[in-house]
Amino acid sequence: MVVSLYDRLGGYDAIGEFAGRLISGAQSDSLLGRFWGHRADDRNARDLQMLIDYLVRETGGQMYYTGRDMALTHAGMGITDIDWARFIEIVIQVAGELGVGELEGAEVLAFLDGLKGDIVTAG
Ligand code: HEM
Protein backbone atom coordinates (compact mmCIF):
# COMPACT_ATOMS: atom_id res chain seq x y z
CA MET A 1 0.00 0.00 0.00
CA VAL A 2 1.27 3.46 -0.86
CA VAL A 3 1.33 5.68 2.22
CA SER A 4 0.66 9.31 1.37
CA LEU A 5 3.11 12.09 2.16
CA TYR A 6 0.32 13.48 4.35
CA ASP A 7 0.42 10.37 6.55
CA ARG A 8 4.19 10.12 6.52
CA LEU A 9 4.49 13.73 7.69
CA GLY A 10 2.26 12.86 10.64
CA GLY A 11 -1.18 13.99 9.45
CA TYR A 12 -3.17 17.13 10.11
CA ASP A 13 -1.65 18.26 13.40
CA ALA A 14 1.93 17.78 12.21
CA ILE A 15 1.22 19.74 9.03
CA GLY A 16 -0.53 22.42 11.11
CA GLU A 17 2.55 22.75 13.31
CA PHE A 18 4.81 22.88 10.26
CA ALA A 19 2.68 25.57 8.59
CA GLY A 20 2.43 27.64 11.78
CA ARG A 21 6.18 27.68 12.30
CA LEU A 22 6.78 28.39 8.63
CA ILE A 23 4.46 31.40 8.58
CA SER A 24 5.74 32.85 11.84
CA GLY A 25 9.30 32.31 10.66
CA ALA A 26 8.57 34.12 7.38
CA GLN A 27 6.60 36.93 9.03
CA SER A 28 9.32 37.64 11.60
CA ASP A 29 12.15 37.38 9.06
CA SER A 30 13.98 40.62 8.29
CA LEU A 31 13.85 39.98 4.53
CA LEU A 32 10.41 38.37 4.14
CA GLY A 33 8.48 40.19 6.87
CA ARG A 34 7.70 43.06 4.49
CA PHE A 35 5.16 40.90 2.67
CA TRP A 36 2.96 40.78 5.75
CA GLY A 37 3.04 44.43 6.84
CA HIS A 38 -0.13 46.18 8.13
CA ARG A 39 -2.39 43.20 8.45
CA ALA A 40 -5.01 42.42 11.06
CA ASP A 41 -4.58 39.27 13.16
CA ASP A 42 -7.66 37.60 11.69
CA ARG A 43 -6.15 37.96 8.24
CA ASN A 44 -3.03 36.18 9.40
CA ALA A 45 -5.12 33.47 11.04
CA ARG A 46 -7.00 32.97 7.79
CA ASP A 47 -3.78 32.75 5.77
CA LEU A 48 -2.43 30.13 8.17
CA GLN A 49 -5.59 28.05 7.80
CA MET A 50 -5.41 28.39 4.02
CA LEU A 51 -1.79 27.21 4.03
CA ILE A 52 -2.68 24.22 6.22
CA ASP A 53 -5.64 23.30 4.00
CA TYR A 54 -3.55 23.66 0.86
CA LEU A 55 -0.70 21.51 2.20
CA VAL A 56 -3.09 18.86 3.51
CA ARG A 57 -4.73 18.59 0.12
CA GLU A 58 -1.48 18.62 -1.84
CA THR A 59 0.13 15.93 0.30
CA GLY A 60 -2.83 13.58 -0.08
CA GLY A 61 -5.00 14.37 2.94
CA GLN A 62 -8.76 14.72 2.99
CA MET A 63 -9.38 18.41 2.38
CA TYR A 64 -11.44 20.64 0.13
CA TYR A 65 -9.16 23.66 -0.36
CA THR A 66 -11.20 26.85 -0.69
CA GLY A 67 -8.32 29.28 -1.25
CA ARG A 68 -6.92 30.72 -4.44
CA ASP A 69 -4.30 29.07 -6.62
CA MET A 70 -0.65 29.93 -6.06
CA ALA A 71 -0.18 32.18 -9.11
CA LEU A 72 -3.25 34.28 -8.35
CA THR A 73 -2.49 34.45 -4.62
CA HIS A 74 1.05 35.76 -5.06
CA ALA A 75 0.58 37.83 -8.23
CA GLY A 76 1.86 41.38 -7.93
CA MET A 77 3.80 40.77 -4.69
CA GLY A 78 7.11 40.94 -6.54
CA ILE A 79 8.60 37.90 -4.81
CA THR A 80 12.22 37.50 -5.96
CA ASP A 81 14.64 34.58 -6.23
CA ILE A 82 16.39 35.86 -3.12
CA ASP A 83 13.08 35.90 -1.20
CA TRP A 84 12.42 32.38 -2.41
CA ALA A 85 15.86 31.15 -1.30
CA ARG A 86 15.24 32.60 2.17
CA PHE A 87 11.80 30.98 2.31
CA ILE A 88 13.34 27.61 1.47
CA GLU A 89 15.95 28.11 4.21
CA ILE A 90 13.12 28.60 6.70
CA VAL A 91 11.37 25.46 5.39
CA ILE A 92 14.59 23.46 5.94
CA GLN A 93 15.05 24.92 9.40
CA VAL A 94 11.46 24.11 10.46
CA ALA A 95 11.71 20.60 8.98
CA GLY A 96 14.85 20.09 11.09
CA GLU A 97 13.14 21.37 14.25
CA LEU A 98 10.23 19.00 13.73
CA GLY A 99 12.37 16.01 12.83
CA VAL A 100 10.89 15.55 9.35
CA GLY A 101 12.51 12.50 7.72
CA GLU A 102 15.07 12.86 4.98
CA LEU A 103 12.84 11.34 2.30
CA GLU A 104 9.79 13.36 3.31
CA GLY A 105 11.87 16.55 3.50
CA ALA A 106 13.15 15.93 -0.01
CA GLU A 107 9.59 15.36 -1.25
CA VAL A 108 8.43 18.62 0.32
CA LEU A 109 11.31 20.51 -1.30
CA ALA A 110 10.58 18.94 -4.70
CA PHE A 111 6.91 19.87 -4.35
CA LEU A 112 7.83 23.47 -3.46
CA ASP A 113 10.23 23.66 -6.37
CA GLY A 114 7.31 22.87 -8.65
CA LEU A 115 5.46 25.92 -7.29
CA LYS A 116 8.34 28.35 -7.66
CA GLY A 117 7.43 29.44 -11.20
CA ASP A 118 3.95 30.47 -10.02
CA ILE A 119 5.16 32.37 -6.94
CA VAL A 120 8.44 34.04 -7.93
CA THR A 121 7.50 36.80 -10.34
CA ALA A 122 10.40 39.23 -9.92
CA GLY A 123 14.13 38.88 -10.62
C1 HEM B 1 8.81 33.66 -0.62
C2 HEM B 1 7.74 32.89 -0.57
C3 HEM B 1 6.35 33.34 -0.21
C4 HEM B 1 5.90 34.56 0.22
C5 HEM B 1 6.69 35.84 0.46
C6 HEM B 1 4.46 34.43 0.41
C7 HEM B 1 3.62 35.45 0.83
C8 HEM B 1 2.26 35.35 1.00
C9 HEM B 1 1.39 36.41 1.46
C10 HEM B 1 1.85 37.84 1.83
C11 HEM B 1 0.13 35.94 1.48
C12 HEM B 1 -1.16 36.70 1.87
C13 HEM B 1 -1.86 37.14 0.62
C14 HEM B 1 -3.22 37.74 0.90
O15 HEM B 1 -3.73 37.60 2.01
O16 HEM B 1 -3.79 38.34 -0.03
C17 HEM B 1 0.18 34.54 1.05
C18 HEM B 1 -0.91 33.73 0.96
C19 HEM B 1 -0.84 32.37 0.72
N20 HEM B 1 0.31 31.68 0.42
FE21 HEM B 1 2.17 32.43 0.21
N22 HEM B 1 4.07 33.16 0.12
C23 HEM B 1 5.19 32.46 -0.25
C24 HEM B 1 5.25 31.14 -0.61
C25 HEM B 1 4.19 30.27 -0.52
C26 HEM B 1 4.27 28.84 -0.78
C27 HEM B 1 5.55 28.09 -1.16
C28 HEM B 1 3.02 28.34 -0.61
C29 HEM B 1 2.52 26.91 -0.73
C30 HEM B 1 3.19 25.87 -0.26
C31 HEM B 1 2.15 29.44 -0.23
C32 HEM B 1 0.82 29.32 0.02
C33 HEM B 1 -0.03 30.36 0.30
C34 HEM B 1 -1.47 30.19 0.52
C35 HEM B 1 -2.25 28.88 0.49
C36 HEM B 1 -1.98 31.47 0.77
C37 HEM B 1 -3.46 31.85 1.03
C38 HEM B 1 -4.26 31.78 -0.28
C39 HEM B 1 -5.58 32.51 -0.22
O40 HEM B 1 -5.67 33.51 0.52
O41 HEM B 1 -6.53 32.13 -0.92
N42 HEM B 1 2.90 30.59 -0.20
N43 HEM B 1 1.48 34.23 0.76
What stretches in the chain show pLDDT beneath 70?
none
DSSP codes of every residue in the chain: -PPPHHHHHTHHHHHHHHHHHHHHHHHT-TTTGGGG-S--HHHHHHHHHHHHHHHHHHTT-S----S--HHHHHTTS---HHHHHHHHHHHHHHHHHTT--HHHHHHHHHHHHHHHHHH----
The DSSP call for residue 33 is G
Tell whether ligand 1 has an atom less than 6 A from the beta carbon of residue 18. Answer: no
CA of 74 to the centre of ligand 1 (A): 6
Tell whether ligand 1 has an atom less than 6 A from the beta carbon of residue 54. Answer: yes
What pLDDT score does 1 carry? Answer: 81
What pLDDT score does 106 carry? Answer: 98
What pLDDT score does 62 carry? Answer: 97
Give the length of the chain: 123
What pLDDT score does 38 carry? Answer: 86
Q: Which domains, ranges and CATH numbers included, belong to the chain? A: 5-119 (1.10.490.10)
What pLDDT score does 53 carry? Answer: 98
